[in-house]
Structure 1
Amino acid sequence: MQRYEEAKQRLRGSIAPIVTPFYEDFTLDLDSLENLINWHIESGSHGVSVTGTTGEPSSLTVDERVRVMERALKAVNRRVPFVPGTGSTNHEETLYLTKKAEEMGVDAALVIVPYYNKPSQHALYKHFKAVADSVSIPIIVYNIPGRTGTNLEVKTLARLAEDCPNIIGVKESNKDFEHVNRVLLHCGRNFNLYSGIELLCYPMLAIGGAGSISATANIVPDKVAEIHNAWFDGDHQKALELHYELMPLNDVLFRDTNPAPVKAALGMLGKIKPVLRLPMDLPAKEIQTEVREVLSRYVEVPVE
């Protein structure tokens, strides 16, 4: 139990959910992944995650997901906590990837609510409990009903938190702010709540959240980290100002399905080749123009 309480304290702040870079032939670009991780750590990100939604896990084979995790773990090199996404719509695949992550020595695993299947709350409980029971590493549940078609109800999460000591928190990509308030009410105020909705990163800190796992951190990791630094240092006004400063960028990065605008922006910055695997693709030209215009307000964008 002490191990999990320590993990809750360590896994706080901006845990950046990094994209999976591809070459133009759609193969993995692991060198660019390593470069991104080094940039994030140098920019102040408090943790690193891969193969979550922003990392296009459903476009990767199981072997590729393992390769991404291995390279990312090596690049992080214990400088910050490492939390790979190991969830899938397939139960056995989730077990395999989560056990693999434990063998690698990760700090925690991010496990998404299974998508497409639309399981019942009873089935979700059985799924997450089986995953948690199969490993001893901390587990962060990932609830993103807009992408999975299923909302993990608070009562189900609270039951899991009570029955599985290694389930230490939840990433809530849930626009229902009443729901996320009730998470801490029923799971306990020491349960780690992370925002996966960019415009709720600051509000979730205000109600007792532990941090965020925000796609915007891919573009301005320093500013997203600074929101958390300011909040934890007690400078709530500075955190609030940064919250509003980032709002236009947050908005434009979701003008198309994540991570398409994020990858377009990273391509504009020369960080990666802006490549997604079908059925995902880059945003329409007009959206890319809008991304470039908004991006230029925050960072210097090289001329095309």
Structure 2
Amino acid sequence: MANYEDVKQRLRGSIAPIITPFNDSGSIDFGTLKDLIDWHIESGSHGISVTGTTGEPSSLTTEERVQVMEAACKAVNGRVPFVPGSGSTNHEETIYLTKKAQEIGADAALVIVPYYNKPSQHALYKHFKKVADSVDIPIIVYNIPGRTAVNMEVKTLARLNEDCPNIIGVKESNKDFEHVNRVLLNCGRDFLLYSGIELLCYPMLAIGGAGYISATANVAPKEVAELYDVWAKGDVKRAQDLHFDLMPLNDVLFKETNPAPLKAALGMMGKINPAMRMPMALPEQPLQDEIRDCIKKYVELPAGVAK
């Protein structure tokens, strides 16, 4: 049986969920993807994730998801842990992508609760058990009921943790803070708990969380990583300050469905061509103006962008 203790020690902090950059034609901009990953690592992000919610996986073909995972893994080049999203609403596709994550050398795979079809708790157990049994790579369950329309209950997660040694943690994009407390109570305090809710990144650290996978890191990777670093050093006051300093940015980046505001912001910063694939679209001008007014308080915008 594989020992996952080493990877569990390394998978801590700010694991940045990178957007998928597109060209005007709609093709994937792999050069910009590499540049973004380099920028994140230089800025202090503790890990890199792609093809999660922020990476628009439902707008990618299965082949494109593999291509993004491969390109990102090559760009990371072992400098920090790499955790691609490999989940889907399709069971066999999830197994295929998770196996691909293992083949390319990912440190773990982030597997979302299947969306749209609203499986029962028993069905969720069977799905994740078979995915976990199909690979040796560590699995981080991704619970995001606001997107999937079903919540993985604590008892289901605890059962999977007991029966599947390679299910080592969960990303909880769950605003129910009582729920996330009970995750650690029932799965054990060495179970890796990550926040996927920006305003709960700091509170989850306080109860023993391993870190967070926060979309806001795309705009402010240094500050989001620093929040974990200062907490780990015991500087509670600085962690609290960062938590509240980032709140206006967190708020504006989620005024519409992620990653539309995020891509608009990165376009203003000159980091990407802010293109999205339909049916997603960039925010209309009033929100773009609000985003620009907010982010210029955090980053220096190119001449002509900041008004």
Instruction: Give the TM-score taking structure 2 as reference length.
Output: 0.98
Cα distance, 1:230 vs. partner? 0.4
Percent identity over the alignment is 74
Alignment gaps of 5+ in structure 1: none
Aligned equivalents of 1:77 and 1:61: distance in 2?
24
Paired position in structure 2 for 1:29: 29
Paired position in structure 2 for 1:43: 43
Cα distance, 1:8 vs. partner? 1.1
Aligned equivalents of 2:300 and 2:207: distance in 1?
34
Contact 2:174 2:180 in 1 (8 A): yes
Aligned equivalents of 2:130 and 2:58: distance in 1?
21
Contact 2:2 2:136 in 1 (8 A): no
| Aligned counterparts, 1:82-161, within 5 A | 82-161=82-161
Contact 2:4 2:138 in 1 (8 A): yes
| Aligned counterparts, 1:177-216, within 5 A | 177-216=177-216
- Once the two structures are superposed, residues 23-76 of structure 1 have per-residue CA deviations (whole angstroms, 9 ceiling, x without a partner) of 011100010000000000000000000000000000000000000000000000
- The code of the aligned residue for 1:165 comes to P
Aligned equivalents of 2:262 and 2:30: distance in 1?
18
Cα distance, 1:3 vs. partner? 2.6
Cα distance, 1:284 vs. partner? 1.4
Paired position in structure 1 for 2:238: 238
Aligned equivalents of 1:268 and 1:122: distance in 2?
45
| Aligned counterparts, 1:215-254, within 5 A | 215-254=215-254
- Once the two structures are superposed, residues 118-175 of structure 1 have per-residue CA deviations (whole angstroms, 9 ceiling, x without a partner) of 0000000000000000000100000000000000000000000000010000000000
Contact 2:116 2:148 in 1 (8 A): yes
Cα distance, 1:2 vs. partner? 6.5
Aligned equivalents of 1:59 and 1:231: distance in 2?
36
Aligned equivalents of 2:3 and 2:269: distance in 1?
40
Aligned equivalents of 1:226 and 1:40: distance in 2?
12
Cα distance, 1:4 vs. partner? 1.0
Paired position in structure 1 for 2:61: 61
The alignment covers a number of residue pairs equal to 304
Secondary structure of the residue aligned to 1:283 is coil
Secondary structure of the residue aligned to 1:229 is helix
Q: Does 1:176 align with 2:173?
A: no
Contact 2:59 2:277 in 1 (8 A): yes
Paired position in structure 2 for 1:289: 289
Secondary structure of the residue aligned to 2:111 is strand
Paired position in structure 1 for 2:167: 167
Q: Does 1:72 align with 2:72?
A: yes
Instruction: Give the TM-score taking structure 1 as reference length.
Output: 0.99
Aligned equivalents of 1:105 and 1:35: distance in 2?
20
Q: Moved runs in structure 1, 4+ residues, more than 4 A?
A: none
Alignment gaps of 5+ in structure 2: none
